[in-house]
A = this chain, B = another copy of it.
């Protein structure tokens, strides 16, 4: 691997100087107990940190843009770590992939400022919730979408989705027992798309509460089934009462799609 290091050495970085590396990576969450390290649990973070250790001999502690739960997926998760290795920043993606399991892939790597924090510096995050509506082919979507063959009124769901846009107190759409300082979030975009047999919700916000997207989706499905009029969304938001909203949609339909930072 000596040739890999040469360019960096010429530029004067030395082994031991810490550099913050930013990774954009994707994973299929099915096999993991979520993203973040917990004792005795198989997590994506443990796989990433093990891969870094196997590559460099260093044990690092990664920071991430957003947590994901068991079974939840990511296409554009962002993580950082500090390394004393002289591997050039843009080669980490390639180098790590040979140490990672097949359901975790680093898409790109670059150098980040020493104070870059993937969560605090994010302007917004975009999540997608995917529903598969066909009887045929469900085995291929069983852990990558919510498989649901109910008749749905998509127009009513669209109307309801639009009502989430703007600044709201999202307490009614947050798993109870969460300890956060404020429940106010701004949803920039909450749009339903249909391309039969798939239906998906794209939602972009400056931040998300625990289970927020899954409760929003569970509530939209109730609207689609005609159990809840679309207009009720505003009242549910105002109620600040979790029990007024619909059920939490299952994890396998949820994807962290993209984290947006200043300057792209």
A: which residues have CB within 8 A of B?
26-28, 73, 75-76, 102-105, 107, 135-140, 142, 144
Partner of A139, one of B76, B104, B136, B139: B104
The verdict on A142 contacting B102 (CB below 8 Å), with A26-B137, A135-B107, A136-B26 known, is yes
A68 CB to closest chain B CB (Å) equals 13
Beyond A28-B140, A75-B137, A76-B136, 16 extra complex contacts between A and B, CB < 8 Å? A26-B136, A26-B138, A26-B139, A27-B139, A28-B139, A73-B139, A73-B140, A75-B136, A102-B139, A102-B142, A103-B139, A104-B139, A105-B138, A105-B139, A107-B135, A107-B136
Q: How far is the CA of A113 from the CA of B11 in the complex (A)?
A: 78
Chain B residues contacting A75 (CB-CB under 8 Å) are: 136-137
Chain B residues contacting A135 (CB-CB under 8 Å) are: 107
Q: How far is the CA of A103 from the CA of B103 in the complex (A)?
A: 18
Q: How far is the CA of A109 from the CA of B76 in the complex (A)?
A: 42
Chain B residues contacting A138 (CB-CB under 8 Å) are: 26, 105
